[in-house]
Amino acid sequence: MAETDAETWRAAHPGIDSVLTAVCDLNGTLRGKRVPADQVAKALDGGLRLPLSAVGVDIWGEDIENSALVFASGDADGICQPTGRGILPNDWTSRPTALVPLWLFTEEGAPFAGDPRQALARVVEGFAARGLTPVVATELEFYLFDPEGDAPQAPRSPVTGKRLDSDGVLSLDELQHFDAVLNDIYDSCRAQGIPVDVAISENGAGQFEINMRHLADPLRAADDAILFKRTVRGIARAHGLAATFMAKPYGTRSGNGFHVHVSLIDGDGRNVFDDGTEAGSDLMRHAVAGMIRTMAETALTYAPHENSFRRLAPRAHAPSAIGWGYENRTLAIRIPGGSAAARRIEHRVAGADANPYLVLASVLGGALLGLREGWEPPAPVTGNAYAQDLPHLPPDWASAIEAFETGTHIRQIYDPLLVSMFTDCKRQELGVFTRRVTDFEYHTYLETV
């Protein structure tokens, strides 16, 4: 079957002579191999292998020091199986190419527990055992910026040639000035089966948000988010720009968020969060309670980098307090208004720099625990959450790493191997940042103290 599919694809794409094959690591970075197009059948039938440690390297692609997956085990290979997305066109490169998304299994054919996509699959299986399917939609924010220089600066308008210098929230002009970039993003996403929906100009100069349509398939929704980020960066480069999903690329402008909308359907396709009222069902409240009770422990998956915590500042349009409410964007969890049939939960904590597989595993894993245990949430919050006495997310990266490693409920969501790999990875990255002295520190202290 793989050979037949490969031959059909090659006949339809004679201009493509190489294909990229990749798994997703814990940081959300794709890592893999370039293979000749006439070898693509190997990628489709599990004939490719990669070290299991490849999904556990740090943000710079370095092995984790003293990792059991590297020297202690001989850095063993795993089996790369296709995710089911097939061969996806990448038309923004200098020569046309394509991508085959993969995920990792052990030599014995078992899912590799350190693969973030496998972590999400495990949570989804937990819902299936209860006869439920999560329906997920994502919203990703990003900045277009001028790639010249080491630090980002707002792009120039392709229409006026002037550099953007204001926060044009919901600006139609800004959308139209960059319509060539946005059109190419939409076209490429459609070619890859990524269900892009509404686009808006966000709060920062050159910042945009593109939403995805709801899918009753969390794995595909996370796949789409990974592919979308890669597509946006590629299209931006083709237009002489750059794009970033960094959580806080500018200290004085809005950060990039990754909001997740979740509902649950039963075997009959009924939204179990809908009880015909504005309040939502008991099951919805149990899911909210699970998300809240596990939020501090899973914060590392929503804010996985040093820069992530710059976004989670009070009164910065990003929630730092743990609470929930109806139609309240100052809270970590918002219940949107509208039709009762569309009753859903919006989880607003994650930054766009986070790994979509781990974000959805944490959001849905918390919800699943809330359903299993019948937890009740605290009272919904009204008014400005920033001004109220509420529990908070870990205040910094080190605290988030500690919370993920030692959390009461973490190992009910994640396999111990992934917990160990992720915390080891983040501690190694933290150590590098801790040892680095910045130019601003020199400017402030060198001849002053």
Burial 269-288 (b: 16+ CB within 10 A, else e): eebbbbeeeeebbebbbbbb
Q: Is pLDDT at 138 greater than 80 in this prediction?
A: yes
| Nearest C-alpha neighbor of 243 from the set 193, 209, 213 | 209
**What contacts 201, CB < 8 A, 6 or more positions away?**
168, 169, 170, 171, 172, 174, 175, 207, 208
Residue 90 CA to residue 80 CA, distance in Å, equals: 21
Same domain, yes or no: 20 and 79: yes
Same domain, yes or no: 138 and 15: no
Res 166: pLDDT: 67
First vs last C-alpha separation in the chain: 70
Which domain, by its residues, includes 65? Answer: 2-110
The DSSP symbol for 215 reads B
Domain membership flag for residue 286: yes
In 245-293 the beta strands, taken as DSSP E runs, fall at 258-265
Domain membership flag for residue 30: yes
**Residues 388/389/392/396 CA torsion (nearest 10 deg):** 90
Q: Is pLDDT at 196 greater than 90 in this prediction?
A: yes
Residue 440 CA to residue 52 CA, distance in Å, equals: 39
Q: Which of 27-36, 142-151, 167-176, 177-186 has the highest mean pLDDT?
A: 27-36
Burial 402-430 (b: 16+ CB within 10 A, else e): ebbbebebbeebbbebbbbbbbbbbbbbb
The DSSP symbol for 164 reads P
Same domain, yes or no: 378 and 404: yes
Res 200: pLDDT: 82
Looking up residue 134, the CATH number of its domain turns out to be 3.30.590.10
Looking up residue 76, the CATH number of its domain turns out to be 3.10.20.70
Same domain, yes or no: 128 and 17: no
Mean pLDDT across 108-131: 97
Q: Round the average pLDDT of the chain to a whole number and report it.
A: 93
Q: What is the pLDDT of residues 18-66, one digit of tens each?
A: 999 999 999 999 999 999 999 999 999 999 999 999 999 999 999 999 8
Q: What is the pLDDT of residues 371-416, one digit of tens each?
A: 999 999 999 999 988 889 999 999 999 999 999 999 999 999 999 9
Res 72: pLDDT: 61
Residue 273 CA to residue 282 CA, distance in Å, equals: 8
Domain count, the chain: 2
**What contacts 26, CB < 8 A, 6 or more positions away?**
55, 56, 114, 116, 355, 358, 418, 421, 422, 425
| Nearest C-alpha neighbor of 417 from the set 68, 108, 76 | 68
Domain membership flag for residue 216: no
What is the three-state SS of 308-320?
Answer: HHHHCCCCCCCCC
Structure tokens, 104: 């990792």
**What contacts 125, CB < 8 A, 6 or more positions away?**
none
Q: Is pLDDT at 285 greater than 90 in this prediction?
A: yes
Structure tokens, 418: 């992934």
Contact (Cβ atoms closer than 8 angstroms) between residue 214 and residue 196: no
Mean pLDDT across 103-130: 97
Last residue of a domain, one of 110, 132, 164: 110
Domain membership flag for residue 211: no
Res 171: pLDDT: 67
Domain membership flag for residue 162: no
Burial of residue 36 (number of CB atoms within 10 Å: 0-12, 13-18, 19+): exposed
Percentage of residues in the chain having pLDDT higher than 70: 98
Last residue of a domain, one of 54, 83, 110: 110
Domain membership flag for residue 447: no
Domain membership flag for residue 180: no
